[in-house]
Amino acid sequence: MTDPKLRVLIPADKIQARIRELGEQISRDYPTGNLHMICILKGATFFMADLARAMTRGVFIDFMGISSYGKGKSSSGEVRVTKDLDISVEGANVLIVEDIVDSGVTLNYLMHLLDQRKPHSIRIAALLDKPERRLRPVHCAYVGFKIPDEFVVGYGLDYAEQYRNLDAICVLEETGAANAPAG
């Protein structure tokens, strides 16, 4: 896709190589026991699909819908569960699979919520981390890439539901963002 508003930050081959490393590392870290990979919709769907296939052990996969952002670029601060898990996580090792940790509001909330369901352990795998933006403490056991404080799209991440199907992570330049149609 050629779009003057987009600047490639992480090309597709780098994303794939890093995910293969993460899959091997995470598989080594969980030699036994059930592992439930929980994809946070919709942004983490591409990461989940590739990470699950990079795992060298069996996993359960499940999906959770959480909404904390409206159509713009900044968090509303409100977190809402829009789709709950299908499979119980009681006694299981839980790996939350998230696209990006920004303010940390979403994951901080989710960690507390899932902790009440008595899993054996909970860890987070986030493809991207913007540490400068943190408002709430969140520990990510696995991070694909630390990135600067810039708004990114692609590989699942959106701006107003656009750009998710780019195979690279791209910075959405300010001028373009202001002109992007909403919805």
Q: Are 105 and 77 in contact (CB under 8 A)?
A: yes
Q: How many residues bind Mg ion (CB under 5 A)?
A: 1
Catalytic position from the list 50, 62, 102, 158: 102
**Catalytic annotation present for 102:** yes
* 67 lines the binding site for ligand IMP (CB under 6 A): no
Cα–Cα distance, 114 to 41 (Å, whole number): 16
From the list ligand IMP, Mg ion, none, which binds 144 (C-beta under 5 to 8 Å, kind-based)?
none
- Cβ closer to ligand IMP: 94 or 101? 101
Cα–Cα distance, 183 to 90 (Å, whole number): 37
Q: How many residues bind ligand IMP (CB under 6 A)?
A: 17
* 152 lines the binding site for ligand IMP (CB under 6 A): yes
Binding segment toward ligand IMP, per CB under 6 A, in 55-63, 88-96, 97-105, 175-183: 97-105
Q: Which residues contact 141 (CB under 8 A, 6 or more apart)?
A: 123, 124, 125
From the list Mg ion, ligand IMP, none, which binds 104 (C-beta under 5 to 8 Å, kind-based)?
ligand IMP
Cα–Cα distance, 77 to 135 (Å, whole number): 10
Q: Which residues contact 75 (CB under 8 A, 6 or more apart)?
A: 68, 69, 102, 103, 105, 106
| Shortest reach from residue 93's CB to ligand IMP, in Å | 22
Residue 32, SS3 per DSSP: coil
> Which residues form the interface with Mg ion (CB under 5 A)?
43
Q: Report the catalytic residues.
A: 102
Binding site for ligand IMP (CB under 6 A): 43, 68-69, 75, 98-106, 151-153, 157
